[in-house]
Amino acid sequence: MAEDTNLPESSQSVVIKKNGKGKNKKRLKRDPDLFHNYEFSLLQFNKRVLNEALDSRNPLLERVRFIGIVSSNLDEFYQKRVGGLKRQVMAGVYKRSLDGKTPASQLKMISKQVKGLDKVIRKTFEKELLPKLQDNGVFIVSFDDLDDGQKKYADDFFYRQVYPVLTPLAIDESHPFPFISSKSRSLIVELQNPATNEQLFARVKVPDNISRWIRIPGNMRRETEDREGEAVLLPLEDLIRCRLQEVFTGAEIISSHVIRVTRNSDIEKNKEDAEDLLEMIEEELRERRFAQPVRLEVERKTPDHIKNLLTDNLNISDDDIFEADGLVGLSEFTELADIEGFDHLRYEPWTPVTHPAFSREAENDTSSFFDSIRESDILVHHPYHSFATSVERFVHEAADDSEVLSIKQTLYRTSDDSPHMHALIRAAENGKQVAVLVELKASFDEQRNIEWVHKLEKAGAHVAYGLAGLKIHSKLTVIVRREADVIRRYVHVGTGNYHPKTAQLYEDLGLFTADDQVGKDATNLFNFLTGYSPGQTYSTMLVAPHYLRMEMTKRIRHERNLAAKGFKAQIIAKMNSLEDPGIIEELYAAAENGVKIDLVVRGVCRLKTGIKGTGNNIRVHSVIGRFLEHSRVYYFSNGGDALYYIGSADWMKRNLDSRVEVLLPVTDGKIKNYLWRMLQTYLDDKRQRWLLKPNGEYKPAAPPEEQADQGVQHTFMENARLQSAAHSQS
């Protein structure tokens, strides 16, 4: 079917209000009733994560892990989102959000929502999970719960490993209030001088380079015969609290209270004017350490005069104080979930399988690996397909292959000990041209990326730091190889980072191709990123910020036009977040004309369902489970000639306008079939899928009586396992 290139504007009757004076001065004003609040939607995502801790079908320690995950998410939420809003309030900014809320009103909403969420988190752990842990032999104890032998062990541990690290800091007129680093735990100690009866205060930081969970030998079920397989865990802060007298010799300890401070990480820098981006990021990291506190966690029993001391010195409002009856700071529960000896309380281990296209070749046969890619495009689906035997092998074999001339790669996030990065260093040392585009502005990974920059440069690699004003978010590798009289380019385009650890925990897609046009586009993109080549064009790739928004808009409008003419029209899109108002308006307009739209959005979704005129044509799904859903896939029915795209970009304003992103059209028929089945599997899920309600909250897609025992992620694991078994027998 021929494509209609006459593209109408979005339906203004549904999504846009006109406002303005004069014949030629019209301003389009978006209707706030058509969008969910970003912060509210992000907190709804965390409620869905918390539900995994509430779900008794999940293994016990995995439920504990989800407590840690949602707590860590809230840490980041306060560091970035709340920190940014507070900075706006302090600057006197009254600009309303897309849904019509001021920064101040959003902060009030956030405080109410998060305190309710925090209450459920703590109740879930203390009333449900903690007793179950004890029933299964995992005890989180206080020092006073230990017997004499266990106390001796704890004391020995304190004197050998903890006491030498502690640094008490006095708080008085001659000692300024000490700096408290973000997300660290501290003890605020109230003392008295016996000689003068003078009341004193001090702060002792709980070391963050010692595990919070001290495993004490012995057992707690002393009255029973069932003493095997126990884990007795003493929180580090409790051990320090019980031995404060050793720290403050000669003083009387009146009380001590655990606190935790979260600081703003939303430090504003003019990255467009930065002459030295590396130096600017390093300075930003230094400033972030001393940024304004945005949240204070305290024990509920902390007396008012201690709270006042803290709030006065930290400049924290009452809305940002969180009181805990139990442990302060729960993000370390992810570490607790990995305690040795309790595998039966975790998910059954999953070992990713090697994709059949790569498993047929000998591990040391480099040429056959590239032959496989040259024969046909290959799609890998992580963590069901192995990252190590596909993406990592791609770079490792290129590093050692004498026919490989160059390796180019974008790097957004990776691990401290990444084999991937060591392969790039080895390639540079082997004399190959290695060019790495390192994104220094990757949130919370800046320091790690800076360290890799220095290592790569030392090895002789060409390192670029990105573009001023643009964050490099694309996941792209190009390997140039000499084959007989031909120079061939092999390309990997992914939806996820080149990070070996998250590749085992995140669901992502990666496409390998030797297509010549894709190779040329990838080369043009690297020329744009590393040199002065702003005028690049691309024949296959959709690249932001140049063409991606335009092409996505064009595709949505084409489906709308098909539906208006009575043809079947459908859009299915899977992404991390949907936030861009322009795309949302286009989707509303398409739904008005009858386009069937299914959106699988893991996190934030500002689009509303049930908007007048759209009928039931838009459904928003969200899948939460063992693996973090991270892939981006876009399907357009296109009058029967379906179009598929995969890549790094969400439908967010920042991804479309302020980042370098890549979406790649899929042309291989088998891969298209796989993506169709994959999307349908998500839409059919009856265990892990949620549906967005018009009020912005979510409900399970299947009622309790219809829910399945296993979800979509288990289905993909089984499919990968069966695929691998069938291949090994062929």
Q: What residue numbers does the annotated binding site for ATP cover? A: 73, 506, 602, 630
Q: What is the dihedral of CA 74, 79, 80, 81, to 10 degrees?
A: 60
The full DSSP string for 151-184 is HHHHHHHIIIIIGGG--EEEEBTTBPPPP--TT-
Choose, from 257, 473, 499, 558, the residue flagged as catalytic.
473
Residue 364 burial class via C-beta count within 10 angstroms: exposed 0-12, middle 13-18, buried 19 and up: exposed
| Residue 355 annotated among the catalytic residues of the structure | no
Q: State the Cα–Cα distance between residues 417 and 410, nearest whole angstrom.
A: 18
Instruction: Give, for 511, the enclosing helix (H) or strand (E).
Output: strand 506-513
- Report strand pairing: 231-235 vs 542-544: unpaired
CA 50 – CA 125 distance, rounded (Å)? 11
- The answer to whether 296 and 316 are in contact (CB under 8 A) is yes
Q: How many CB atoms lie within 10 A of CB 472?
A: 24
Contact residues for 296 (Cβ-Cβ < 8 A; gap 6+): 259, 260, 261, 262, 310, 311, 314, 316, 320, 321, 322
How far is residue 300's CA from residue 189's CA, in Å, rounded to a whole number? Answer: 15
| Structural element, H or E, at residue 621 | strand 618-623
Phi, psi dihedral angles at 323 (to 5 degrees): -105, 135
The secondary structure of the chain in percent helix, strand, coil, rounded to multiples of 5, reads 40, 25, 35
Between CA 281 and CA 440 the distance in angstroms is 7
Taking residue 127's Cβ as centre, other Cβ atoms within 10 Å add up to 9
Q: Which residues share a beta bridge with 643?
A: 636
Is the separation of the CB atoms in 200 and 170 below 8 Å?
A: yes
Q: How many CB atoms lie within 10 A of CB 343?
A: 11
Residue type, 206: V
Residues whose CB is less than 8 angstroms from the CB of residue 166 and which lie 6 or more positions away in sequence, other chains included? 204, 205, 207, 240, 247
Cis amide prior to 545 (ω within 30 degrees): yes
List active site positions: 473
